[in-house]
Amino acid sequence: MKADYRQIAAEILDAIGGKDNVDKAAHCVTRLRLSLKDQSKVDEARVKEVDLVKGAFENSGVYQIVIGAGDVDRVYAEFIKLAGLEAATVAEVKSAGGKKMNPLQKLVKVFSDVFMPIIPAIIVAGLLMGINNLLASEGLFIEGKTLIEAYPNLQGLWDLINMMANTSFVFLPALVGWSATKRFGGSEVLGIVMGLLLVHPDLLNAWGYGTAALEGEVPTFDILGLFEIEKVGYQGQILPVLAAAYILSQIEMFLKKRVPNAIQLLVVPITTIVVTGFLALAIVGPITRGIGNVIATGLVNTFEAVPVVGALLFGLFYAPLVVTGMHHLFIAIDLQLIADTGGTFIWPMIALSNIAQGSAALAMFFVYKHNAKQKSMASTSAISAYFGITEPAMFGVNLPNKFPFYSAMIGSAIAAIFITLNDVQAIAIGVGGLPGFLSIFTDKILLFIVGMVIAIIVPFALTFILSKRYMKKGELEENKVA
């Protein structure tokens, strides 16, 4: 039966206090995100009873209603018509709700606002690198040979995929520069220029810099004979361009307020780029690169020293971090690890956590006996989680019943410990679910698949076992809504 999106939007609007209670509205892949004037006017029980709604919660001053991919776009289109609102971006809604946030929440919000728009490019690059990884892996399909060696005609295809895969990572600072400058209030095009400046071909990449440093021949810019700036690029680096984008935005906004309109186009862009570029290459870049190296080294050393504890904690608490929105911080950490060490051990654990949430939701499909809506929600949200989008599973099925969420946390922790002890790492960020094996180093793919099996079986079994106890006590969510 086709959903009546207008009716659904009307019921949601009525349950949250009417159109006069809505300040701004936006949506992401799965959720309506609303900035409300008075949170106390929301009837959350009524919101959750609306067709297609899988859950609702408040986070960082933003009221979020989980609907699901595809449907959320149509509900949103009807919602803003009924509410008499103009379409807004997620960043605008977060900004409206951001006044209620503490400093840590504001920091997380910055990372979320910067990285969410560029995630598609990162995931596409990760998948292509995974395919490239398979083509060039010796012995994976043919003993003692890569597919390219066995079938030379694949060389051209491999070269093309390799170029496509590397593009987002080679020019990652440009992507971050665009998104970060937009977030900080500057001109996006100047952010792109700044990002490209930091990966200019005249600057050494990480490999070239390492070789030059060992030989004591790092090239420099001689600035009027007063001091020198090393010609070092920041390919794949996150912190340097984030800091540079913030500085660029502040300088640009400062100048726009003071430079007459008649000469702004001539004065503001060139002054902004020259000053920011100088600061980025001379001061900001070296300092933030050092900070990034310390973070990456600290994480690596921690996981090497106490791998079981590190994996246990990450596997257990990643899903709760998703609930709070703090998981966006790990995108930057993953990218920093890839830039510094060539791989990341964090992203594989994230993929397994997503799979575990999907498995717990799938178990609930078999647990629910009489409620067709709950069965449908469990099955569709499980599929969504298996392909990296866990919010429908968590907020629609697992969290309301509690024990599936805990079961998924336990399964995720066990799987994380297993792959960490076996040094499973990803060459790139890919789809955080069942297709995740494509992004794993080929010699560790089988071990990662074992981790996937653990993340499927343990949460499924625990959820099914615990459901018997909850059904006896009448605490199953189905009993409350049937």
Q: Which of 10, 14, 23, 28 is catalytic?
A: 28
Three-state secondary structure readout of the chain: CCCCHHHHHHHHHHHCCCHHHEEEEEECCCEEEEEECCHHHCCHHHHHHCCCCCEEEEECCEEEEECCCCHHHHHHHHHHHHHCCCCCCHHHHHHHHHHHCCHHHHHHHHHHHHHHHHHHHHHHHHHHHHHHHHHCCCCCCECCECHHHHCHHHHHHHHHHHHHHHHHHHCHHHHHHHHHHHHHCCCHHHHHHHHHHCCCCCCECHHHHHHHHHHCCCCEEEECCCEEEECECCCCCCHHHHHHHHHHHHHHHHHHHHCCHHHHHHHHHHHHHHHHHHHHHHHHHHHHHHHHHHHHHHHHHHHHHCHHHHHHHHHHHHHHHHHHCHHHHHHHHHHHHHHHHCCECHHHHHHHHHHHHHHHHHHHHHHCCCCHHHHHHHHHHHHHHHCCCCHHHHHHHHHHHCHHHHHHHHHHHHHHHHHHHCCCCECCCCCCCHHHHHHECHHHHHHHHHHHHHHHHHHHHHHHHHHHHHHHHCCCHHHHHC
Q: Which amino acid is at 470?
A: Y
- 28 is an active site residue: yes
- Length of the chain as a residue count: 482
- Asked whether 432 and 350 are in contact (CB, 8 A), the reply is yes
Give the catalytic positions in this structure: 28
